[in-house]
Structure 1
Amino acid sequence: EIREETLNKVIAQAAGIEVWHRPLVMRADLSVRAMRRIATFVSRSLIDELGRRHDLDDDTALWLKARAQASIEADDAGSEKPLTVEAMREAHKEGRLGDEMVTGAATLAHRQPVVTALSLLAGVPAHMVETVIDSRSGRGISALCWKAGLSMRTALAVQTHIAHVPTGNLVLPREGIDYPLKENEIRWHLQYFGIEAGGAQRGI
């Protein structure tokens, strides 16, 4: 038994920690809001499990069904084009490179495609991206993903699966979605790694 506030913090952190997904889905005390948040990052099979285990109103049931279908379509799209360095470059050239591809590559621990994507999106040389990742700095990686115009959830996936940032040093999404860092703090971390704060960036 945990308080709702604590559960919300766990859900916010769980997006990048796959072993937590099933235990969350299996909880009996999930609110509709919690279920919807969980469904944004768990697998298609676990979305289906959410629907089976909980007494849902019609709107929530339809919403979960739509999420499951979107997951199927994303899997199909991913199977057509492997998440390689070349795929990242091609997607960037065509204006398709974004959160979905970077998170997908990060979750599969495909480091070089992620480095390439961050380099292209942020306008930063690949060796500087490597330096940020090798630092295992959750704040530095989050700042770089912000500059690249990516979501905080993508930043968490990069921290977890590519940089292997220690759990205690992970920067977690605020309310499960937003960057928790202030813009001046983000700019400070970019400058620390010698990266200009201008260019593509995401609003906070």
Structure 2
Amino acid sequence: MAQPGERKAEGVLSPEEALSVLEAQAKRGETLLASQASLEPEVLAYLARNGAEATRRAVAANPATTPEANFLLATDSDEEVRKNLALKIGRLFPGLLAEEEKQLRDMALATLEKLAQDQVSAVRAVLAEEIKSHDCVPKSIVKALASDTDPSVQMPVIEYSPQLEDEDLIQLVVASRASKILSAVARRKNLSGDVSEAVATTLDTDAVAALLANTDATIRTKTLDKIISNAAEVAEWHGPLVVRADLSPNAIERIAGFVGSKLIDTLAQRSGLDESVRGELKRRLDEKKKAEAKQDGAESHSETPLTGGALTEAFVFNAVEHCRKDTVVKALALLAKTGEDNVRRILSSQSGAAAVSLVWRAGLSMQVAYRLQVQVMRLSGISLVPARNGSEFPLKSDEMRRQLGNYGIA
């Protein structure tokens, strides 16, 4: 052994280093042991109480862990332990409910309830993803997850859970203004006419587009007529509308009145059309092609300020009023000195506060911000953020900077 003051031989571990290596090897061995499905339940229970974090994570993921130990781990201080447990319990829950002993079934249910109430949304999100298609999960838990404050928790159960009935879904639609939540409802299999009508009534751009694209959704004629009446300036709805199999001849002719030439051509290719309808579509196709040729020339001229350095408020306001979304995106990106993707994210967010903040950053007026919400984002009612005192921005500078920060705009 090296004496005090002597240099340690190269490659020789000090007592402290040797102990550290032994402890690390012991922990690795303990973790490996904790992952063995053949391990005695008593040993797993001991490791759940006394193991290091890595060991407890392995115990949480081990399907052989006892219900009592699972319940203990549901309140573990380590988030990864609880996420591993949520993943396992979610997957195994149908089998756990089949246990012969009522005490074991009750313990499994108590663990599920505890995880569904976890303070960390990432844990709840893991659980929601795993139980989303189970029909054996108590409805109270499903409804709690569907009403969560985090969309990543809500969306899986809203879109897939067989436990949610029409009344539950309609309540979610009425209560939520979040486009992601409405779209999750719209994507459900075998969507009823009542729920489809509730989604359509919101006129949410993404949700209605998802509804139209859902071939399993029942959309009544009255509901479809309402969508068509509002679809002219919502380009995102045009493609899904055109390929709906349940369009009446009248609906087809109405749609042909506002979609582009390529989509009119798609309508004309539908099988089973009356010759009179097909002839009308051909006439409209010719008219649309001529109109598009003229418009291409006009838009080419209108885009000049985007490259010529002459961007004005009047130019942006005009683009907003005519819902020229691509032009609006490019203009706001240039003026706000941010990427076009950031602008698109804000415009699709359904957040009036974010839109107002973006226009403020771009150096434009609150009048532009308000019209942007109405014309481009299609917001209405309580979703709109109006001006203060008729023309002033209603949010404080710090709040608008915070809003922009949510979208990566510093």
TM-score by length of 2: 0.27
Which structure 2 residues correspond to residues 19-34 of structure 1 after superposition, within 5 A? Answer: none
Within the alignment, does 1:182 sit opposite 2:396 as a pair?
yes
- Which ranges of structure 2 fall in alignment gaps of 5 or more residues? 1-296
Counting matched residue pairs gives 115
Alignment partner, residue 302 of structure 2: 87
Alignment partner, residue 382 of structure 2: 168
Report the alpha carbon displacement of residue 195 of structure 1 after superposing the two structures with TM. 0.6
Within the alignment, does 1:154 sit opposite 2:368 as a pair?
yes
**Are the structure 2 counterparts of residues 85 and 123 from structure 1 closer, same or farther at C-alpha, using a change threshold of 3 Å?**
farther
Task: Give CA-to-partner distance per residue, 1:66-94, whole Å, 9 cap, x none.
Answer: xxxxxxxxxxxxxxx94x47734x31444
2:355 is matched with which residue: 141, 159, 162?
141
Would you say the 8 A contact 1:138–1:159 is kept in 2? yes
Alignment partner, residue 119 of structure 1: 333
- What amino acid maps onto 1:132 in structure 2? I
- Which ranges of structure 1 fall in alignment gaps of 5 or more residues? 1-80, 197-204
Which structure 2 residues correspond to residues 58-69 of structure 1 after superposition, within 5 A? Answer: none
Does the residue aligned with 1:135 lie in a helix, a strand or coil?
coil
Which of the pair has more CA radius of gyration? Answer: 2
**Are the structure 2 counterparts of residues 129 and 95 from structure 1 closer, same or farther at C-alpha, using a change threshold of 3 Å?**
same
- What amino acid maps onto 2:397 in structure 1? E
Q: Residues of 1 paired with 2:333 and 2:300: CA distance?
A: 11
Does the residue aligned with 2:348 lie in a helix, a strand or coil?
helix
- What amino acid maps onto 2:347 in structure 1? I
Report the alpha carbon displacement of residue 163 of structure 1 after superposing the two structures with TM. 0.8
1:107 is matched with which residue: 321, 339, 344?
321
- What amino acid maps onto 2:386 in structure 1? L
Identity %: 32
**Are the structure 2 counterparts of residues 85 and 114 from structure 1 closer, same or farther at C-alpha, using a change threshold of 3 Å?**
farther
Pairwise CA RMSD of aligned residues?
A: 2.1
Q: Residues of 2 paired with 1:195 and 1:166: CA distance?
A: 25
- What amino acid maps onto 2:329 in structure 1? V
Task: Give CA-to-partner distance per residue, 1:149-194, whole Å, 9 cap, x none.
Answer: 1101001111110011232111111222111110011001000111
TM-score by length of 1: 0.52
2:343 is matched with which residue: 99, 108, 129?
129
- What amino acid maps onto 2:302 in structure 1? A
Report the alpha carbon displacement of residue 96 of structure 1 after superposing the two structures with TM. 2.3
